[in-house]
Structure 1
Amino acid sequence: MGKQVVDLEPETPFHTFSVAQTEEHYATSSIQGLSSAEAALRLKQYGSNELQGDGGVKWYKVLWRQVANALVVILLIATALAFATKDFAEGGVILFIIVMNAAIGFWQEFNAEQTMEALRNMSSPTAQVIRDEARVTIPNNQAVPGDVMIFEDGDVVGADCRLFEVFNLETDEALLTGESLPVQKNLEHIEKADEALGDRLNMVFASTTVVKGRAKGIVTNTGMKTQIGKIATTLMNVDANEQTPLQKRLNRMAYFVFLAALILVLIVFAVHGFKYSNETAIYAISVAIAIIPEGLVAVVTLTMAFGVSRMAEVKAIVRRLSSLESLGAVTNICSDKTGTLTQSKMVAVRMWFPKDGFYRISGTGFVPEGDIFCQGETAPNGEFLAQEEQVPIGSGTNHYLRTIQAASLCNMSELRRTQNPDHGEWTAIGDPTEIALQVLAYKAGLSKPALVESGFDLIAEFPFDSSVKRMSVLYKSPASEHLIFMKGATERVLPCCTYWRSGDDELSLGGEKGSGRAEFEAMITEKMNALAERGLRVLTLAYRKFHAKPGMDLVHGLNRDEVESEMVFLGLVGIYDPPRAESRPAVLKCYEAGIRVHMLTGDHPSTAAAIAKEVAIIPEDVNVVNNPLIMTAGQFDAMSEEEIDALAELPRVVARCSPNTKVKMIAALHRRDLFATMTGDGVNDSPSLKAANVGIAMGQSGSDVAKQAADIVLTDDNFATIVQAVAEGRRMFANIQKFVQHLMSANVAEIVVLIIGLAFKDSDGNAVFPMSAVEILFLNMITSSPPAMGLGLEPPSDSNMREPPRSAKQGLFSFEVIMDTFIYGLAMGALSFANFCIVIFGFNHGNLGSECNAHYSEACEGVFKARATAYACLTLLILAHAINCRSLREPGWSRANLSTLRQNRMLWLSIIVGVLLVFPMLYIPGLNRNVFKHSGLTYEWGFVVAAVFIFIAFAEIYKMIKRNVMKPLCLENSSELEMQRMRTCGDSVYDEVKE
């Protein structure tokens, strides 16, 4: 071990190294491994074996995101001005708002990032290595280059390794290459340094999974230098802090508010002849503060934080507070099939044998409990048929038993029962397709362990290979016969068959081009299509008796081409990945919401179309032949952008899908100005997750890199959770509109009062303030903000998922929201100012006193009373307006609406507390005249109450006019209309093709 370790460059082509060269490169031994001391030194040299993502959770980056926005900057400017004019009360309050907002946002987002960090560490927690010439288990992050790592069935590979010992090893590399089929590994030397990743068969890569077999390898790369780490490094260069549409709109609003505040300040100074005085400066700041919604940042942050918490409850982790709002604008959802729309639990549900016909298998999942029924030659449409007969366990025709033997023995998967042998849960190791066949064998009473125990002995195996798409094994039977069993894709197994079994008879297929073979293959194709159209993945089983020549080496002397010839066709097995029960209702809910669903899958087109019909992505009665709604990736990828843009409808189902196809689909949606979300789990899905408006990664089956690239991570990999996320995004955005309208209406009302009030001059010729600076801050923060927070927590309306997606260009301030903001604001301001005028001119003879803005005097009693009246009136109007804002158009003061108010505890409590707080502010001596600059009310309460009733009546009449004049918000029968539209789209193109 005295050799110097060579520093590794990322591009070192270890797949071209021999095992000896790899050992020399890392000064290690494939037999002895590393010593513990040497491993400790290398851990310091190379670092931990883990993906760093963004370098871990950095608290200062999270904190910076909380203060780096325009509205906070404006508040900081207002704080500085307040302190500069020695108005420490206002400055302190605004500064407190900024600190509170940053603290809340930091706490929520930091927790979300820590949750994601925990998810990243779940991929491969331990590894088996040889240390000090002994096999030990270590935390995976302690593996170092030069370690000898051991892999077995079901293991997640912990690092990139050069293999030196292999036994029937297959790995699932779909996360890296997108290849859905397992890759058979070997030890053959590779010459090309730039060999494609999927063809580096003497290497295994970090985060891939061992499907079957076992192996040993020398660790060549760890951490960010692995293949998965290189992709992660590339993704880290993408700006992860790009602002969402909501953030951009709030910033634009902040700039507008800042400009408006400057204009108002100029107006104030212009009225005073541009003569500076502390009172003028304070009033100018008060007017500027009146138009700035101080509570907006905190309310937005809190609303998003509650949205994140609510999504976590439904098993979706939002990586940043600002990403959830984008879901409300989603128009199209592009979803994977396996595990998202389906349960990802393969189960054999149908078989077909010549002569016997179809069989039905009951039971679900990995649990080997169920029965097998013979249905005869009836097509496999009905679950239960009157003429079907149950096949007793362990019995059946010779043809049936031989077929089950093939399914059981040509199989490397294992079923295991955990905990109590009688009541424990069943688990499975191996390829999902093989697991389904093994469960079938258990149900028939011919499980692999039972057959092996009865005397079946494995002699040789020709593993599944993606180039041949079949697998075969050689067994010695209890009767000392040698039997070859084969399974695989129908188009790859049929050419190997010379005979076919019909009951106990084995009939010849004739020559390769004989009429007998053509008729037989046509029959098989018909039956295979009958199964595929039910959404089943079809496998073909075959066997033959093998007569070994005397002295033949049955382990090393076999030629695969010779062994896999002259086979006897046995039958077809249909394997089903059942849709989740909640998938169909969720898809229909999407159509009700005006959202279109696309399924992008690697399955056969017939299988994909069948599942799409089951979950309502396409209507059940559409013709799938030549239908533009159903395409293969080859067809879609072959089209130019112009051809895709010319399509009346983008395909709803894309079969045999590749990662590039997903990116092309997202680009096509974007060219149509649509807002799309994409689901993904593999590293190869990362580009499409980044390209989508909202990327959603799978938390259970997803790779670390996919989770880093995504905006949202589903912990249950369930399509229905996506729909819940969309509904939550809509709810949150609607609530943001509600409280922004509420806050801005209050600000408009304050500006109306303050600006018009400049017209009133006291005996010294100075303007009289209709409201004091403290009153304004109190209205903005204490009166307006709590109800706004309550509006942010409003439950979804009944029409939440029956409205069309909002336009991504529409933004936070739609025409209706802007109109409501100004109309309600003008109404509240007018009523409040009217009360101010009534008290001053109607009951105090227009006496405006002297220096009433600074302190109380007998001469200022009328001004202080009028100011208190305007303040109390505006307070109650703002609180009453919170109830109006619960709905844009529905009556706010109806019995039905008020009865649901109790569901929002925050809202009604804030209204009650807001009303009660008026009284101490008005009547506590010292606080009223010295701080708020107003006096207690007596008869003036009559004007305040009258103004509230007038405003409520005005609001209800205004909403009634909107309901009668404006276009309805809800979509009518959108689910049925969407299905009919797809039928029309498919039928019209199909008719053109026929013509």
Structure 2
Amino acid sequence: MKSNGGIDAKNIEAFHTYSIVQASSILQTDTDFGLDDLKVESKRLEFGSNELKGEGGISPFKILLRQFSNLLVFVLIGASVLSYVVKDYAEGSVLFIIVILNSAVGFFQDFKAEKTVESLRKLTSPLSDVQRNGTIEHIPTSELVPGDILFLKSGDIIGADCLLIETLGFETDEALLTGESMPVAKFTDTIDNVDQPLAERKNIGFASTIVTKGRAKGIVFSTGMNTELGKIASQLMDMSSAKDKKKTRLQVSLNRMSVYLLIFAIALVILVFGVNKFNIDAEVLIYAISLAIAVIPEGLLAVLTLTMALGVRRLSKEKALVRKLNSLEVLGSITDICSDKTGTLTQSKMVLVKAWIPHEGCYEISGIGFEPVGQVFKPSIDQDFSPSAPLTKFTKSFNLLARISALCNVSDVKKDPESGDWVGIGDPTEIALQVFSMKVGLGKTDLVRGSDGSTWNLISEFPFDSSIKRMSTLYANGSLKLNVFTKGATERVVELCSRILINGEVVEISTNELQSLLDPQIENLAQNGLRVISLAYNEIPVPENLSGHSWDREYIESGLIYVGLVGIYDPPRPESLASVQKCFKAGIKVHMLTGDHPATATSIAKQVGIIPNDEAFMDGSFKDKHGSHMATVGSMVMTASQFDALTVDEVDRMPDLPNVIARCTPETKVNLINALHRRNRIVAMTGDGVNDSPSLKISDVGISMGITGSDVAKQASSIILTDDNFATIVGAIAEGRRLFTNIGKFIRCLIGANIAELVTLVVGLAFIDSSGHTVFPLSPVAILTNNLITATPPAMALGSELAPSDNMDLPPRDTKSGLFTVEVLSDIVIQGLFMGLLSIFSFYLVLDVFGDGNRGYECNKAYSPSCDAVFRARATTFTLLTILLMVFGYSCRDPRRQTCSYEKIKNIRQNAFLFHSFWIVIVITILCVYIPGLNRDVFKHSPITWEWAIVIISILVYLLGDALYKFIKLFIF
């Protein structure tokens, strides 16, 4: 892209390196006058409106058409039409309803998913203040063009990418682009490095970021899809398109199965015609079509959709909302979880846990959350984290430390009268300091009320400034002196201190001496993942005119007395360690991607078990549960700059990818996921900001945060956590494994039943009557009835099975084998073949062994005395096959453990749906055999008596064969 103004893709990327004069020249604008109407119109024609482009909006019609792109759907539609042709309206209607329901569920799921890029549009500000024709105008943000002079103030949403030319205490919240939770201070200095990371371009205001403080003026240089936000939108659309075209293993397996079944069904129709020498009458045609329909597992889509829907419902109760049904399949195969730290592995509640005072040592403060309940401990020197008895009295220095924490503070901590919960209002760090003071009875409210003997009144406040990284307040307490309280980054507080408080006495100290004294303590706290804040105070004379006095910050913050420092951290969730251990046991590797300092990231990672504690692994290596060395501790933690600096080959040669990446950027997340994919790993990725959307899209399962997550992140994800909790992710994976295990169970049940029917019906073609026609072992109505009552009900019941006890003890499922593994195919073929042979053998026994061998004449059409043996044989076959398939359903509950074991018999009613389905089908079978008129006229079979012995013995033979088969499987799989 090249414009008349000289703007192209290259210099858009380099605007942070341009001076104001250079930028004004390239953009053809005047920083004092702005653009005139003629230039605005010209630029609007050239660059278009300042809007994010979608893909033509959401088309419900296209989404609906997508639901019918599945080959199995076409097969079911064809089967439905054939059923209507042969006047089997019940079967045809059931098939048609299955197709409609499946398409409806898919439509509503996909319709929600199409909103990904649409939610990006909501991020733009509706109005912007710009200078045009020498005056400030309020215009719609969509009308901004490159060269506009943009005015920004606190609370504004920046309308386009702009080069800042004036700033006054200007800060922006760039979390949606960079993931950094703290506001970023901005300035107007040019930056020499063209490749400066996005988060370090401090002279640029980015589109859709929020102004949190101050004022600024900037030159717009990039609008619409050329902004950094627009680039993310473009990337999202590309990824969305590519990912939508990629089918899951389950979808591939089902499509392949559909092709095979369709070919097989056509072959069977030709076979039936061939056996009858192509003398195709109505009965032969109906039988051929019925046999073709029996091949197709028409209940598969319905059971699959229902199972997925029940899984979605279960997960929603566990605080995981599923947006895309196919993600449930992938969940069971997850090998790696890339998780954020703050709020996911941790509680997102800053807590002050340590305080250090010169010559007194380190104190520990217990208690977590906002409730001001806890104790203060004084640990021994040798055992830094092993406290002795709690202190009952505090020193002068400790009380002063708590007082500074409370009064150099603008946060508020109080109890909600309705819920009874303690809540914090304000900056998380200040809340932590306030809660600490309240724990020792020196909170701001207590001090203002005079609980310590003095009434403290605020005189002046000097707010926190990111450029100097400190805050100060000035208080009066009725004495002849005013009290200055200061807190901030240690290096910025130390440079103002010329004295130190030791044992209640003020002692002179140089800046270098003080810094040397503090360095070891700061290092110690940082290694434990704590954020360090230093506190100081001073006393100054009360001026003659206190109420009208003008205070100078430089004067107030000079000659301070150093009191001590505190360590604050975001505690891990109590369940995080157990959840990470579950992942490790299940063969899932957890990666923590955070913007924190490496020392903080390492400490938290150790606490939640992502990397080992040095004490637990004295040789510095990490072993899996089989004792194999996985990686050294040193290689487990990297910074984003270290990881991103590696080439693709260097990354691929690494024995293991890092468990922790600190100072992580959105690009680093994408790089890590791509590296994992090159290793054929299945990745779940968590995220909450707009900047996380690309990584959420390219991961196999994108998981967004429901509480802190942006709309864009939620729309780009497959699953939304309503509690932002890592443990919920692990629970979702467990549910995904349960679902896929159950899918395997009902696939065995459905396809195995079809195989049994086919064996019975195809082998039955060998029985020929006196007219030379085939004697059908089951009538077409019996085929369809058996297919209807023995397939879908038990399969649906199996879809709701509880998770096996070893659900999270096994490694992730290998996705290469897809759904139809060797074991699943073996179960389907062997079990189906065995049941089919038993069924057709019963037909043979009744007809030719125990019967007179008279196969009658045209017994497929109606009953006659010559057809009595045929009709009784059909009833026996129908009864046996139906009961066998229901018993097979119980066998499929656990493909490896014995069906008739004591435990299984004891829990026979555990799956109530399967239990009741079994007996309902038995009742239906008896009614079909014994109701006069229905049996001979519709089902073409007669009531049976002694034949029940064949049925019972055949069932016992099946159970013995099933037990032997499962016993042999123990040595094979």
Q: TM-score normalized by structure 2?
A: 0.81
CA–CA separation in structure 2 for the residues paired with 1:369 and 1:667: 46
Work out whether 1:953 is the aligned partner of 2:960.
Answer: yes
CA–CA separation in structure 1 for the residues paired with 2:652 and 2:126: 52
Structure 1 residues 69 and 554, CA, compared in 2 at 3 Å: closer, same or farther?
Answer: farther
Structure 1 residues 128 and 234, CA, compared in 2 at 3 Å: closer, same or farther?
Answer: closer
Pairing partner for 1:588 from 581, 601, 618: 581
Work out whether 1:358 is the aligned partner of 2:362.
Answer: yes
Mapping 1:180-195, distance limit 5 Å: 180-184=181-185
Q: Aligned-pair distance for 1:157?
A: 6.0
Structure 1 residues 526 and 195, CA, compared in 2 at 3 Å: closer, same or farther?
Answer: closer
Partner of 1:88: 87
State which drifts further: 523-532 or 905-914: 523-532
Q: Aligned-pair distance for 1:885?
A: 0.4
Pairing partner for 1:441 from 434, 437, 442: 437
Pairing partner for 2:780 from 748, 773, 776: 773
CA–CA separation in structure 2 for the residues paired with 1:706 and 1:715: 13
Partner SS for 1:323: helix
Partner of 2:905: 898
Gaps of 5+ in 1: 1-9, 27-44, 132-141, 968-995
Q: Aligned-pair distance for 1:937?
A: 1.7
Q: Which amino acid in 2 is paired with 1:722?
A: I
CA–CA separation in structure 1 for the residues paired with 2:104 and 2:583: 33
Residue by residue over 1:416-446, the C-alpha shift from the partner in whole angstroms, topping out at 9 and shown as x without a partner, is 55447xx854333333222212322333444
Mapping 1:446-595, distance limit 5 Å: 446-448=442-444, 454-461=456-463, 463-465=465-467, 470-473=469-472, 475=474, 477-478=476-477, 486-490=486-490, 494=494, 499-505=499-505, 507=507, 510=510, 516=513, 520-521=515-516, 523-543=517-537, 568-595=561-588
Contact kept in structure 2, 1:18 and 1:189, CA below 8 Å:
no
Gaps of 5+ in 2: 1-8, 39-47, 130-139, 145-149, 449-454, 621-631
State which drifts further: 832-841 or 641-650: 641-650
Q: Which amino acid in 1 is paired with 2:293?
A: I
Contact kept in structure 2, 1:108 and 1:305, CA below 8 Å:
no
Q: Which amino acid in 2 is paired with 1:235?
A: L
Structure 1 residues 856 and 143, CA, compared in 2 at 3 Å: closer, same or farther?
Answer: farther
Contact kept in structure 2, 1:731 and 1:795, CA below 8 Å:
yes
Partner SS for 1:740: helix
Mapping 1:145-544, distance limit 5 Å: 170-184=171-185, 199=201, 206=208, 231-232=232-233, 234-237=235-238, 238-239=240-241, 241=244, 242-274=246-278, 276-375=280-379, 380-382=384-386, 384-386=387-389, 389-391=391-393, 396-397=395-396, 399-419=397-417, 425-448=421-444, 454-461=456-463, 463-465=465-467, 470-473=469-472, 475=474, 477-478=476-477, 486-490=486-490, 494=494, 499-505=499-505, 507=507, 510=510, 516=513, 520-521=515-516, 523-543=517-537
Q: Aligned-pair distance for 1:546?
A: 7.8
CA–CA separation in structure 1 for the residues paired with 2:938 and 2:248: 41
Contact kept in structure 1, 2:598 and 2:639, CA below 8 Å:
yes
Partner of 2:760: 753
Q: Which amino acid in 2 is paired with 1:442?
A: M
CA–CA separation in structure 1 for the residues paired with 2:123 and 2:373: 33
Partner SS for 1:902: coil
CA–CA separation in structure 2 for the residues paired with 1:574 and 1:192: 35
Contact kept in structure 1, 2:760 and 2:777, CA below 8 Å:
yes
Pairing partner for 2:683 from 660, 676, 680: 676
Structure 1 residues 797 and 276, CA, compared in 2 at 3 Å: closer, same or farther?
Answer: same
CA–CA separation in structure 2 for the residues paired with 1:444 and 1:644: 51
Structure 1 residues 191 and 350, CA, compared in 2 at 3 Å: closer, same or farther?
Answer: closer
Partner SS for 1:472: strand
Q: Which amino acid in 2 is paired with 1:385?
A: S
Contact kept in structure 2, 1:105 and 1:302, CA below 8 Å:
no
Contact kept in structure 2, 1:375 and 1:389, CA below 8 Å:
no
Q: Which amino acid in 2 is paired with 1:432?
A: P
Q: Aligned-pair distance for 1:611?
A: 1.9
Contact kept in structure 2, 1:157 and 1:204, CA below 8 Å:
no
Q: Which amino acid in 1 is paired with 2:518?
A: I
Residue by residue over 1:182-218, the C-alpha shift from the partner in whole angstroms, topping out at 9 and shown as x without a partner, is 1236899999999997557795864x677x6688999
Partner of 2:68: 67
Partner of 2:41: none
Partner SS for 2:533: strand
Q: Aligned-pair distance for 1:324?
A: 0.7
Q: Aligned-pair distance for 1:790?
A: 0.2
Structure 1 residues 191 and 333, CA, compared in 2 at 3 Å: closer, same or farther?
Answer: closer
Pairing partner for 1:874 from 869, 881, 905: 881
CA–CA separation in structure 2 for the residues paired with 1:21 and 1:243: 56
Partner of 1:34: none
Q: Which amino acid in 2 is paired with 1:948?
A: I
Residue by residue over 1:913-955, the C-alpha shift from the partner in whole angstroms, topping out at 9 and shown as x without a partner, is 1111101211223322233222222221111111111101111
Partner SS for 1:916: helix
Structure 1 residues 554 and 111, CA, compared in 2 at 3 Å: closer, same or farther?
Answer: farther
Residue by residue over 1:288-342, the C-alpha shift from the partner in whole angstroms, topping out at 9 and shown as x without a partner, is 2222111111111111010011100100011022211111011121211111111
Q: Which amino acid in 2 is paired with 1:865?
A: R
Q: Aligned-pair distance for 1:376?
A: 6.9
Partner of 1:934: 941
Structure 1 residues 766 and 257, CA, compared in 2 at 3 Å: closer, same or farther?
Answer: same
Pairing partner for 1:831 from 838, 841, 846: 838
Partner of 1:986: none
Q: How many residues align?
A: 902
State which drifts further: 240-249 or 754-763: 240-249
CA–CA separation in structure 1 for the residues paired with 2:362 and 2:793: 67
CA–CA separation in structure 2 for the residues paired with 1:196 and 1:164: 20
Pairing partner for 1:102 from 94, 100, 103: 100
Q: Aligned-pair distance for 1:771?
A: 1.8
Contact kept in structure 2, 1:779 and 1:875, CA below 8 Å:
yes
State which drifts further: 434-443 or 271-280: 271-280
CA–CA separation in structure 2 for the residues paired with 1:604 and 1:751: 65
Percent of aligned pairs sharing the same letter? 42
Residue by residue over 1:626-677, the C-alpha shift from the partner in whole angstroms, topping out at 9 and shown as x without a partner, is 6212222233223333333333332222222222222222222222222121
Partner of 2:593: 600
CA–CA separation in structure 1 for the residues paired with 2:735 and 2:266: 37
Partner SS for 1:846: coil
CA–CA separation in structure 2 for the residues paired with 1:966 and 1:98: 41
CA–CA separation in structure 2 for the residues paired with 1:583 and 1:558: 44
Contact kept in structure 2, 1:123 and 1:703, CA below 8 Å:
no
Contact kept in structure 2, 1:143 and 1:222, CA below 8 Å:
no
Contact kept in structure 1, 2:63 and 2:110, CA below 8 Å:
no
Residue by residue over 1:787-811, the C-alpha shift from the partner in whole angstroms, topping out at 9 and shown as x without a partner, is 0100000011111111221101121
CA–CA separation in structure 2 for the residues paired with 1:98 and 1:236: 35
CA–CA separation in structure 2 for the residues paired with 1:601 and 1:504: 41
Partner SS for 1:913: helix
CA–CA separation in structure 2 for the residues paired with 1:564 and 1:832: 95
Structure 1 residues 498 and 622, CA, compared in 2 at 3 Å: closer, same or farther?
Answer: farther
Contact kept in structure 2, 1:59 and 1:110, CA below 8 Å:
no
Partner of 2:629: none
Contact kept in structure 2, 1:124 and 1:156, CA below 8 Å:
no
CA–CA separation in structure 2 for the residues paired with 1:287 and 1:633: 61
Q: Aligned-pair distance for 1:99?
A: 2.3
Partner SS for 1:428: strand
Q: CA RMSD in A?
A: 4.6
Work out whether 1:916 is the aligned partner of 2:923.
Answer: yes
Q: Which amino acid in 2 is paired with 1:578?
A: P
Work out whether 1:944 is the aligned partner of 2:942.
Answer: no
Partner SS for 1:457: strand
Contact kept in structure 1, 2:473 and 2:486, CA below 8 Å:
no
Structure 1 residues 588 and 95, CA, compared in 2 at 3 Å: closer, same or farther?
Answer: same
Partner SS for 1:631: strand
Pairing partner for 1:622 from 617, 626, 630: 617
Pairing partner for 2:932 from 900, 925, 928: 925
